[in-house]
Structure 1
Amino acid sequence: MTDIPEDHPRYKSLLTRELLVKGVKDGITSMQGLIAQGRGEAFDYLLGERTTGSAAEAERVAVAMMLLANRPVISVNGNAAALVSEELCELSKALDAPLEVNLFHRTEERVGKIINLLRSKGASTVYGDNPDKLIPGLSHDRAKAASKGIYAADVVLVPLEDGDRCEALVKMGKRVIVIDLNPLSRSARTATVAIVDNIVRAVPNMTAMAREMKNQSPAALEDIVKGFGNEKALAQALDEMMDNVKNAK
Protein backbone atom coordinates (compact mmCIF):
# COMPACT_ATOMS: atom_id res chain seq x y z
CA MET A 1 0.00 0.00 0.00
CA THR A 2 1.06 3.58 -0.61
CA ASP A 3 2.69 5.19 2.42
CA ILE A 4 0.26 8.00 3.31
CA PRO A 5 1.44 10.47 5.99
CA GLU A 6 -1.03 10.68 8.88
CA ASP A 7 -0.98 14.48 8.75
CA HIS A 8 -2.35 14.46 5.19
CA PRO A 9 -5.73 16.30 5.21
CA ARG A 10 -7.33 13.41 3.31
CA TYR A 11 -5.58 10.67 5.31
CA LYS A 12 -8.67 8.64 6.31
CA SER A 13 -10.25 8.83 2.88
CA LEU A 14 -7.02 7.91 1.10
CA LEU A 15 -6.42 5.04 3.51
CA THR A 16 -9.88 3.68 2.74
CA ARG A 17 -9.11 3.76 -0.98
CA GLU A 18 -5.82 1.97 -0.39
CA LEU A 19 -7.55 -0.75 1.64
CA LEU A 20 -10.02 -1.38 -1.17
CA VAL A 21 -7.28 -1.49 -3.81
CA LYS A 22 -5.43 -3.99 -1.63
CA GLY A 23 -8.70 -5.90 -1.29
CA VAL A 24 -8.90 -6.22 -5.07
CA LYS A 25 -5.29 -7.40 -5.28
CA ASP A 26 -5.91 -9.93 -2.52
CA GLY A 27 -9.05 -11.28 -4.17
CA ILE A 28 -11.38 -9.95 -1.46
CA THR A 29 -13.04 -7.04 -3.29
CA SER A 30 -14.34 -6.95 -6.86
CA MET A 31 -13.27 -4.24 -9.31
CA GLN A 32 -16.87 -3.06 -9.32
CA GLY A 33 -16.55 -2.44 -5.58
CA LEU A 34 -14.17 0.43 -6.30
CA ILE A 35 -16.92 2.21 -8.23
CA ALA A 36 -19.34 1.70 -5.35
CA GLN A 37 -16.80 3.17 -2.95
CA GLY A 38 -16.44 6.30 -5.09
CA ARG A 39 -20.19 6.84 -5.06
CA GLY A 40 -20.35 6.45 -1.29
CA GLU A 41 -17.41 8.79 -0.76
CA ALA A 42 -19.27 11.55 -2.60
CA PHE A 43 -22.17 11.28 -0.15
CA ASP A 44 -19.75 11.22 2.76
CA TYR A 45 -18.42 14.60 1.61
CA LEU A 46 -21.98 15.92 1.86
CA LEU A 47 -22.23 14.59 5.41
CA GLY A 48 -19.03 16.33 6.36
CA GLU A 49 -17.34 12.94 6.84
CA ARG A 50 -18.80 12.58 10.32
CA THR A 51 -21.44 10.59 12.15
CA THR A 52 -24.45 12.88 12.25
CA GLY A 53 -27.12 12.97 14.93
CA SER A 54 -29.60 11.01 12.83
CA ALA A 55 -26.98 8.37 12.02
CA ALA A 56 -26.05 7.92 15.67
CA GLU A 57 -29.71 7.48 16.56
CA ALA A 58 -30.21 4.93 13.77
CA GLU A 59 -27.14 3.02 14.97
CA ARG A 60 -28.57 2.92 18.50
CA VAL A 61 -31.92 1.65 17.20
CA ALA A 62 -30.18 -0.96 15.05
CA VAL A 63 -28.21 -2.27 18.02
CA ALA A 64 -31.36 -2.48 20.15
CA MET A 65 -33.15 -4.33 17.35
CA MET A 66 -30.34 -6.86 17.00
CA LEU A 67 -30.08 -7.39 20.76
CA LEU A 68 -33.82 -8.16 20.80
CA ALA A 69 -33.58 -10.52 17.82
CA ASN A 70 -33.85 -14.28 18.15
CA ARG A 71 -31.58 -14.94 15.17
CA PRO A 72 -29.57 -11.85 14.17
CA VAL A 73 -27.10 -12.23 11.28
CA ILE A 74 -24.52 -9.84 9.83
CA SER A 75 -24.08 -10.04 6.05
CA VAL A 76 -20.57 -9.38 4.67
CA ASN A 77 -19.57 -8.44 1.13
CA GLY A 78 -16.15 -7.76 -0.38
CA ASN A 79 -15.96 -4.04 0.40
CA ALA A 80 -17.05 -4.59 4.00
CA ALA A 81 -14.46 -7.32 4.43
CA ALA A 82 -11.68 -5.16 3.00
CA LEU A 83 -12.56 -2.12 5.12
CA VAL A 84 -13.78 -3.42 8.48
CA SER A 85 -13.17 -7.15 8.77
CA GLU A 86 -11.82 -6.99 12.31
CA GLU A 87 -14.48 -4.49 13.36
CA LEU A 88 -17.25 -6.73 12.00
CA CYS A 89 -15.88 -9.63 14.03
CA GLU A 90 -15.98 -7.46 17.15
CA LEU A 91 -19.56 -6.44 16.39
CA SER A 92 -20.47 -10.08 15.80
CA LYS A 93 -19.19 -10.98 19.26
CA ALA A 94 -20.87 -8.01 20.95
CA LEU A 95 -24.24 -8.87 19.41
CA ASP A 96 -23.82 -12.67 19.43
CA ALA A 97 -24.66 -12.57 15.73
CA PRO A 98 -22.96 -14.87 13.19
CA LEU A 99 -21.49 -13.54 9.95
CA GLU A 100 -22.47 -14.68 6.47
CA VAL A 101 -20.56 -13.89 3.27
CA ASN A 102 -22.90 -12.87 0.46
CA LEU A 103 -21.60 -11.58 -2.87
CA PHE A 104 -23.11 -10.25 -6.10
CA HIS A 105 -19.92 -10.90 -8.09
CA ARG A 106 -19.55 -14.30 -6.49
CA THR A 107 -16.81 -16.84 -7.01
CA GLU A 108 -16.17 -19.66 -4.59
CA GLU A 109 -12.55 -18.54 -4.39
CA ARG A 110 -13.58 -15.05 -3.23
CA VAL A 111 -16.02 -16.48 -0.70
CA GLY A 112 -13.30 -18.71 0.70
CA LYS A 113 -10.80 -15.88 0.96
CA ILE A 114 -13.27 -13.63 2.79
CA ILE A 115 -14.23 -16.40 5.20
CA ASN A 116 -10.56 -17.10 5.92
CA LEU A 117 -9.94 -13.39 6.47
CA LEU A 118 -12.84 -13.12 8.93
CA ARG A 119 -11.72 -16.20 10.82
CA SER A 120 -8.19 -14.83 11.02
CA LYS A 121 -9.67 -11.72 12.67
CA GLY A 122 -11.44 -13.76 15.32
CA ALA A 123 -14.84 -14.67 13.85
CA SER A 124 -16.28 -17.82 15.42
CA THR A 125 -19.21 -18.56 13.10
CA VAL A 126 -19.12 -17.60 9.41
CA TYR A 127 -21.60 -18.92 6.87
CA GLY A 128 -21.54 -18.53 3.10
CA ASP A 129 -19.38 -21.28 1.65
CA ASN A 130 -22.18 -23.86 1.48
CA PRO A 131 -25.42 -21.99 0.76
CA ASP A 132 -28.36 -24.39 0.72
CA LYS A 133 -31.26 -21.96 0.29
CA LEU A 134 -32.36 -19.30 -2.18
CA ILE A 135 -33.90 -15.95 -1.25
CA PRO A 136 -37.16 -15.69 -3.24
CA GLY A 137 -37.35 -13.04 -5.94
CA LEU A 138 -33.65 -12.79 -6.78
CA SER A 139 -32.19 -14.19 -10.00
CA HIS A 140 -28.50 -13.63 -9.22
CA ASP A 141 -25.94 -15.06 -6.81
CA ARG A 142 -26.99 -12.84 -3.89
CA ALA A 143 -30.03 -15.13 -3.65
CA LYS A 144 -27.76 -17.83 -2.21
CA ALA A 145 -28.08 -18.10 1.56
CA ALA A 146 -27.40 -20.48 4.41
CA SER A 147 -30.37 -22.12 6.08
CA LYS A 148 -28.80 -21.49 9.49
CA GLY A 149 -27.77 -17.94 8.58
CA ILE A 150 -29.49 -15.20 6.60
CA TYR A 151 -32.33 -17.45 5.43
CA ALA A 152 -33.46 -18.19 9.00
CA ALA A 153 -32.60 -14.77 10.46
CA ASP A 154 -35.25 -12.50 11.87
CA VAL A 155 -32.96 -9.42 11.76
CA VAL A 156 -30.23 -8.95 9.13
CA LEU A 157 -27.56 -6.25 9.14
CA VAL A 158 -26.53 -5.46 5.57
CA PRO A 159 -23.50 -3.15 5.39
CA LEU A 160 -23.33 -1.18 2.12
CA GLU A 161 -25.83 -0.69 -0.67
CA ASP A 162 -27.85 -3.76 -1.67
CA GLY A 163 -31.27 -2.64 -2.84
CA ASP A 164 -32.89 -5.67 -4.45
CA ARG A 165 -31.78 -8.14 -1.78
CA CYS A 166 -32.87 -5.74 0.96
CA GLU A 167 -36.31 -5.57 -0.61
CA ALA A 168 -36.47 -9.36 -0.98
CA LEU A 169 -35.49 -9.91 2.66
CA VAL A 170 -38.14 -7.46 3.84
CA LYS A 171 -40.73 -9.33 1.76
CA MET A 172 -39.68 -12.50 3.62
CA GLY A 173 -40.78 -10.78 6.84
CA LYS A 174 -37.31 -9.95 8.13
CA ARG A 175 -36.22 -6.71 9.72
CA VAL A 176 -33.35 -5.35 7.65
CA ILE A 177 -30.75 -2.84 8.80
CA VAL A 178 -28.58 -1.24 6.14
CA ILE A 179 -25.48 0.95 6.33
CA ASP A 180 -25.68 3.16 3.26
CA LEU A 181 -24.25 6.64 2.71
CA ASN A 182 -26.90 7.33 0.05
CA PRO A 183 -30.21 8.24 1.74
CA LEU A 184 -31.94 8.16 -1.66
CA SER A 185 -31.01 4.56 -2.53
CA ARG A 186 -33.57 1.78 -2.73
CA SER A 187 -31.80 -0.09 0.06
CA ALA A 188 -32.07 2.90 2.42
CA ARG A 189 -35.72 3.49 1.57
CA THR A 190 -36.71 -0.18 1.72
CA ALA A 191 -34.88 -1.03 4.95
CA THR A 192 -36.43 -1.21 8.37
CA VAL A 193 -33.54 0.91 9.66
CA ALA A 194 -31.15 2.79 7.37
CA ILE A 195 -27.90 4.06 8.87
CA VAL A 196 -26.62 6.93 6.71
CA ASP A 197 -22.99 6.76 7.77
CA ASN A 198 -19.63 5.50 6.59
CA ILE A 199 -19.14 1.84 7.46
CA VAL A 200 -15.72 2.60 8.94
CA ARG A 201 -17.46 4.79 11.54
CA ALA A 202 -20.77 2.97 11.90
CA VAL A 203 -19.48 -0.49 12.79
CA PRO A 204 -17.19 0.63 15.65
CA ASN A 205 -19.97 2.93 16.89
CA MET A 206 -22.40 0.03 16.99
CA THR A 207 -19.94 -2.25 18.77
CA ALA A 208 -19.43 0.33 21.52
CA MET A 209 -23.20 0.77 21.82
CA ALA A 210 -23.80 -2.99 21.95
CA ARG A 211 -21.38 -3.38 24.83
CA GLU A 212 -23.13 -0.59 26.73
CA MET A 213 -26.69 -1.72 25.94
CA LYS A 214 -26.47 -5.52 26.23
CA ASN A 215 -27.56 -5.51 29.88
CA GLN A 216 -30.62 -3.35 29.28
CA SER A 217 -34.00 -5.00 29.73
CA PRO A 218 -36.01 -6.10 26.70
CA ALA A 219 -38.60 -3.47 27.61
CA ALA A 220 -35.99 -0.71 27.52
CA LEU A 221 -34.68 -1.93 24.18
CA GLU A 222 -38.22 -2.10 22.78
CA ASP A 223 -38.75 1.53 23.79
CA ILE A 224 -35.71 2.52 21.73
CA VAL A 225 -36.93 0.63 18.67
CA LYS A 226 -40.59 1.62 18.70
CA GLY A 227 -39.84 5.32 18.60
CA PHE A 228 -37.94 5.07 15.32
CA GLY A 229 -39.31 5.93 11.86
CA ASN A 230 -37.09 5.22 8.87
CA GLU A 231 -38.65 7.82 6.57
CA LYS A 232 -38.21 10.52 9.19
CA ALA A 233 -34.60 9.48 9.79
CA LEU A 234 -33.80 9.63 6.06
CA ALA A 235 -35.37 13.09 5.84
CA GLN A 236 -33.18 14.19 8.74
CA ALA A 237 -30.10 12.78 6.99
CA LEU A 238 -30.90 14.79 3.88
CA ASP A 239 -31.42 17.92 5.98
CA GLU A 240 -28.04 17.36 7.64
CA MET A 241 -26.40 17.07 4.23
CA MET A 242 -28.04 20.28 3.03
CA ASP A 243 -27.05 22.12 6.21
CA ASN A 244 -23.46 20.99 5.75
CA VAL A 245 -23.45 22.21 2.15
CA LYS A 246 -24.88 25.60 3.18
CA ASN A 247 -22.32 25.97 5.98
CA ALA A 248 -19.49 25.15 3.58
CA LYS A 249 -20.21 28.21 1.43
Structure 2
Amino acid sequence: MSEIEVPESHPRYQSLLTRHRIEDGVKKGITSTQGLIAQGRGEAFDYLLGERTIPSADRAERVAAAHLLLAEQPVLSVNGNVAALVPEELVELAEVTDADLEVNLFNRTEERIHAIVDHLHEHGASEVKGTAADERIPGLDHERAKVDSDGIYAADVVLVPLEDGDRAEALAAMGKTELVIDLNPLSRSQQASTVPIIDNAIRAIPAITTHARVLQRASSTLEEMRTIIDEFDREAILADAERVIRNGSD
Protein backbone atom coordinates (compact mmCIF):
# COMPACT_ATOMS: atom_id res chain seq x y z
CA MET A 1 0.00 0.00 0.00
CA SER A 2 1.43 3.38 -0.97
CA GLU A 3 0.61 6.78 0.50
CA ILE A 4 -1.21 7.58 -2.75
CA GLU A 5 -3.46 4.53 -2.36
CA VAL A 6 -4.70 5.68 1.06
CA PRO A 7 -7.33 8.42 0.57
CA GLU A 8 -7.12 11.26 3.07
CA SER A 9 -10.84 10.77 3.73
CA HIS A 10 -10.11 7.37 5.26
CA PRO A 11 -10.83 7.53 9.04
CA ARG A 12 -7.53 5.76 9.74
CA TYR A 13 -5.52 7.76 7.20
CA GLN A 14 -2.80 9.03 9.53
CA SER A 15 -2.45 5.68 11.25
CA LEU A 16 -2.17 3.82 7.94
CA LEU A 17 0.25 6.44 6.64
CA THR A 18 2.60 6.08 9.61
CA ARG A 19 2.45 2.29 9.40
CA HIS A 20 3.39 2.49 5.74
CA ARG A 21 6.33 4.81 6.46
CA ILE A 22 7.67 2.53 9.20
CA GLU A 23 7.28 -0.51 6.95
CA ASP A 24 9.06 1.34 4.15
CA GLY A 25 11.78 2.33 6.62
CA VAL A 26 12.43 -1.33 7.41
CA LYS A 27 12.71 -2.11 3.70
CA LYS A 28 15.22 0.73 3.26
CA GLY A 29 17.30 -0.40 6.24
CA ILE A 30 16.47 2.75 8.20
CA THR A 31 14.14 1.24 10.78
CA SER A 32 14.81 -1.96 12.74
CA THR A 33 12.19 -4.71 12.84
CA GLN A 34 11.82 -3.96 16.56
CA GLY A 35 10.72 -0.49 15.48
CA LEU A 36 7.53 -2.03 14.14
CA ILE A 37 6.64 -3.15 17.67
CA ALA A 38 7.51 0.23 19.12
CA GLN A 39 5.27 1.90 16.53
CA GLY A 40 2.34 -0.30 17.56
CA ARG A 41 2.85 0.50 21.23
CA GLY A 42 2.86 4.23 20.54
CA GLU A 43 -0.17 3.93 18.29
CA ALA A 44 -2.14 2.40 21.16
CA PHE A 45 -1.43 5.38 23.42
CA ASP A 46 -2.21 7.79 20.58
CA TYR A 47 -5.58 6.10 20.10
CA LEU A 48 -6.36 6.67 23.78
CA LEU A 49 -5.42 10.34 23.39
CA GLY A 50 -7.87 10.64 20.52
CA GLU A 51 -5.10 10.83 17.91
CA ARG A 52 -4.79 14.55 18.47
CA THR A 53 -2.55 17.08 20.14
CA ILE A 54 -4.16 17.81 23.47
CA PRO A 55 -3.83 21.40 24.80
CA SER A 56 -1.26 20.47 27.46
CA ALA A 57 0.94 18.84 24.80
CA ASP A 58 0.73 21.99 22.70
CA ARG A 59 1.90 24.01 25.71
CA ALA A 60 4.84 21.64 26.11
CA GLU A 61 5.69 22.01 22.43
CA ARG A 62 5.81 25.80 22.81
CA VAL A 63 8.15 25.43 25.79
CA ALA A 64 10.32 23.01 23.79
CA ALA A 65 10.59 25.62 21.04
CA ALA A 66 11.72 28.23 23.57
CA HIS A 67 14.36 25.85 24.95
CA LEU A 68 15.74 25.13 21.48
CA LEU A 69 15.87 28.82 20.57
CA LEU A 70 17.67 29.72 23.80
CA ALA A 71 20.09 26.78 23.70
CA GLU A 72 23.79 27.28 23.07
CA GLN A 73 24.16 23.88 21.42
CA PRO A 74 20.83 22.18 20.67
CA VAL A 75 20.78 18.71 19.12
CA LEU A 76 17.90 16.73 17.64
CA SER A 77 18.48 13.03 18.26
CA VAL A 78 17.30 10.81 15.40
CA ASN A 79 16.48 7.11 15.53
CA GLY A 80 15.18 4.83 12.79
CA ASN A 81 11.48 5.34 13.45
CA VAL A 82 11.56 9.11 13.56
CA ALA A 83 13.79 9.22 10.47
CA ALA A 84 11.22 7.15 8.60
CA LEU A 85 8.25 9.14 9.88
CA VAL A 86 9.29 12.82 9.74
CA PRO A 87 12.62 13.33 7.94
CA GLU A 88 11.71 16.62 6.25
CA GLU A 89 10.09 17.92 9.41
CA LEU A 90 13.23 17.15 11.43
CA VAL A 91 15.39 18.97 8.90
CA GLU A 92 13.07 21.99 8.98
CA LEU A 93 13.07 22.10 12.80
CA ALA A 94 16.88 21.91 12.81
CA GLU A 95 17.09 24.82 10.36
CA VAL A 96 14.59 27.00 12.25
CA THR A 97 16.26 26.48 15.64
CA ASP A 98 19.86 26.22 14.39
CA ALA A 99 20.14 22.73 15.90
CA ASP A 100 22.32 19.81 14.87
CA LEU A 101 20.89 16.48 13.76
CA GLU A 102 22.54 13.37 15.21
CA VAL A 103 21.71 9.73 14.51
CA ASN A 104 21.67 7.58 17.64
CA LEU A 105 20.53 3.95 17.58
CA PHE A 106 20.03 1.05 19.97
CA ASN A 107 20.31 -1.51 17.16
CA ARG A 108 23.33 0.23 15.72
CA THR A 109 25.19 -0.92 12.64
CA GLU A 110 27.34 1.20 10.38
CA GLU A 111 25.01 0.33 7.50
CA ARG A 112 21.96 1.68 9.36
CA ILE A 113 23.79 4.79 10.54
CA HIS A 114 24.85 5.68 7.00
CA ALA A 115 21.43 4.75 5.57
CA ILE A 116 19.74 7.21 7.94
CA VAL A 117 22.36 9.91 7.30
CA ASP A 118 21.83 9.51 3.55
CA HIS A 119 18.05 9.52 4.04
CA LEU A 120 18.22 12.82 5.92
CA HIS A 121 20.50 14.28 3.27
CA GLU A 122 17.93 13.26 0.65
CA HIS A 123 15.33 15.23 2.60
CA GLY A 124 17.37 18.42 2.75
CA ALA A 125 19.84 18.06 5.62
CA SER A 126 23.21 19.66 4.98
CA GLU A 127 25.07 18.01 7.86
CA VAL A 128 24.18 15.03 10.05
CA LYS A 129 26.20 13.86 13.04
CA GLY A 130 26.43 10.39 14.49
CA THR A 131 29.06 8.69 12.37
CA ALA A 132 32.05 9.68 14.51
CA ALA A 133 30.76 8.12 17.74
CA ASP A 134 33.94 9.25 19.48
CA GLU A 135 32.37 9.67 22.94
CA ARG A 136 30.12 7.63 25.22
CA ILE A 137 27.22 8.56 27.48
CA PRO A 138 28.25 7.49 30.99
CA GLY A 139 26.29 4.67 32.55
CA LEU A 140 25.17 2.93 29.36
CA ASP A 141 26.59 -0.39 28.17
CA HIS A 142 24.79 -0.63 24.83
CA GLU A 143 25.12 1.03 21.44
CA ARG A 144 23.04 4.08 22.34
CA ALA A 145 25.96 5.17 24.50
CA LYS A 146 27.93 6.02 21.34
CA VAL A 147 27.61 9.72 20.50
CA ASP A 148 29.61 12.42 18.78
CA SER A 149 31.83 14.51 21.06
CA ASP A 150 30.68 17.72 19.32
CA GLY A 151 27.04 16.59 19.16
CA ILE A 152 24.87 15.00 21.84
CA TYR A 153 27.81 14.69 24.24
CA ALA A 154 28.42 18.46 24.24
CA ALA A 155 24.78 19.56 23.83
CA ASP A 156 22.96 21.56 26.47
CA VAL A 157 19.50 20.84 25.03
CA VAL A 158 18.56 17.54 23.37
CA LEU A 159 15.29 16.74 21.64
CA VAL A 160 14.78 13.01 22.12
CA PRO A 161 11.81 11.70 20.12
CA LEU A 162 10.70 8.10 20.67
CA GLU A 163 13.29 7.63 23.38
CA ASP A 164 14.58 4.66 25.37
CA GLY A 165 14.20 5.15 29.12
CA ASP A 166 17.70 4.27 30.20
CA ARG A 167 19.32 6.76 27.82
CA ALA A 168 16.87 9.44 28.91
CA GLU A 169 17.90 8.83 32.51
CA ALA A 170 21.59 8.85 31.57
CA LEU A 171 21.28 12.12 29.66
CA ALA A 172 19.44 13.66 32.62
CA ALA A 173 22.29 12.54 34.89
CA MET A 174 24.65 14.44 32.57
CA GLY A 175 22.65 17.61 33.21
CA LYS A 176 21.09 17.83 29.75
CA THR A 177 17.83 19.62 29.19
CA GLU A 178 15.72 16.88 27.60
CA LEU A 179 12.71 17.55 25.41
CA VAL A 180 11.14 14.11 25.19
CA ILE A 181 8.44 13.09 22.70
CA ASP A 182 6.78 9.94 24.04
CA LEU A 183 3.08 9.06 23.99
CA ASN A 184 3.28 7.25 27.34
CA PRO A 185 3.29 9.75 30.24
CA LEU A 186 4.32 6.96 32.64
CA SER A 187 7.43 5.94 30.71
CA ARG A 188 10.90 6.25 32.23
CA SER A 189 11.72 8.60 29.37
CA GLN A 190 9.02 11.05 30.34
CA GLN A 191 9.75 10.70 34.05
CA ALA A 192 13.36 11.77 33.29
CA SER A 193 12.41 14.56 30.88
CA THR A 194 12.70 18.28 31.42
CA VAL A 195 9.84 18.89 29.01
CA PRO A 196 7.49 15.92 28.54
CA ILE A 197 5.74 16.13 25.17
CA ILE A 198 2.90 13.60 25.19
CA ASP A 199 2.15 13.62 21.49
CA ASN A 200 2.76 11.74 18.27
CA ALA A 201 6.05 12.71 16.63
CA ILE A 202 4.29 13.32 13.33
CA ARG A 203 2.35 16.13 15.02
CA ALA A 204 4.87 17.21 17.66
CA ILE A 205 7.85 17.95 15.41
CA PRO A 206 5.92 20.30 13.07
CA ALA A 207 4.19 21.90 16.06
CA ILE A 208 7.50 22.74 17.74
CA THR A 209 8.70 24.25 14.46
CA THR A 210 5.55 26.36 14.19
CA HIS A 211 5.95 27.62 17.76
CA ALA A 212 9.60 28.44 17.10
CA ARG A 213 8.67 30.46 14.02
CA VAL A 214 5.97 32.33 15.92
CA LEU A 215 8.38 33.16 18.75
CA GLN A 216 10.90 34.42 16.21
CA ARG A 217 8.36 36.49 14.26
CA ALA A 218 7.05 38.01 17.46
CA SER A 219 10.61 39.13 18.22
CA SER A 220 10.27 37.56 21.63
CA THR A 221 13.00 38.69 23.97
CA LEU A 222 15.23 36.33 25.87
CA GLU A 223 13.39 37.31 29.04
CA GLU A 224 10.02 36.45 27.51
CA MET A 225 11.19 33.02 26.39
CA ARG A 226 12.78 32.37 29.78
CA THR A 227 9.43 33.29 31.36
CA ILE A 228 7.69 30.72 29.11
CA ILE A 229 10.17 28.12 30.37
CA ASP A 230 10.06 29.18 34.03
CA GLU A 231 6.26 29.06 34.17
CA PHE A 232 6.12 25.54 32.73
CA ASP A 233 4.76 22.88 35.10
CA ARG A 234 5.99 19.49 33.89
CA GLU A 235 4.11 17.58 36.58
CA ALA A 236 0.84 19.15 35.47
CA ILE A 237 1.57 18.17 31.87
CA LEU A 238 2.18 14.54 32.83
CA ALA A 239 -0.90 14.44 35.05
CA ASP A 240 -3.11 15.97 32.38
CA ALA A 241 -2.01 13.46 29.73
CA GLU A 242 -2.64 10.56 32.08
CA ARG A 243 -6.06 11.97 32.92
CA VAL A 244 -7.00 12.25 29.23
CA ILE A 245 -5.80 8.69 28.57
CA ARG A 246 -7.87 7.38 31.49
CA ASN A 247 -10.98 9.51 30.92
CA GLY A 248 -10.92 10.11 27.18
CA SER A 249 -11.52 13.86 27.32
CA ASP A 250 -9.80 17.20 27.82
TM-score (norm. length: structure 2): 0.96
Aligned residue for 2:242?
238
Aligned residue for 1:121?
123
Aligned residue for 2:33?
31
Alignment partner of 2:221 out of 217, 223, 237? 217
Offset of residue 137 of structure 1: 0.2
User: Partners of 1:162 and 1:230 in 2: how far apart?
Assistant: 19
User: Partners of 1:58 and 1:97 in 2: how far apart?
Assistant: 18
Offset of residue 127 of structure 1: 0.3
Render the CA deviation track for 1:103-153: whole Å, top value 9, x for unaligned: 000010000010011111111221001110000000000000001100000
Offset of residue 212 of structure 1: 1.1
SS of equivalent to 2:179: strand
Using the TM superposition, name which of 132-141 and 118-127 deviates more.
118-127
Render the CA deviation track for 1:11-70: whole Å, top value 9, x for unaligned: 110111011000000100000000000000000011000000110000011111111111
Aligned residue for 2:66?
64
TM-score (norm. length: structure 1): 0.96
SS of equivalent to 1:41: helix
User: Partners of 2:87 and 2:169 in 1: how far apart?
Assistant: 25
Offset of residue 244 of structure 1: 1.5
Using the TM superposition, name which of 1-10 and 215-224 deviates more.
1-10
The question of whether the paired residues in 2 share the 8 Å contact of 1:86 and 1:121 is answered with: yes
User: Partners of 1:91 and 1:7 in 2: how far apart?
Assistant: 28
In structure 1, the gaps of 5 or more residues are none
Identical columns (%)? 59
Aligned CA-pair RMSD: 1.2
Number of equivalent positions = 246
In structure 2, the gaps of 5 or more residues are none
The question of whether the paired residues in 2 share the 8 Å contact of 1:72 and 1:153 is answered with: yes
Alignment partner of 1:205 out of 199, 204, 207? 207
Offset of residue 229 of structure 1: 2.2
SS of equivalent to 1:158: strand
Offset of residue 193 of structure 1: 0.7
1:1-249 paired onto structure 2 within 5 Å: 1-2=1-2, 3-214=5-216, 215-244=219-248
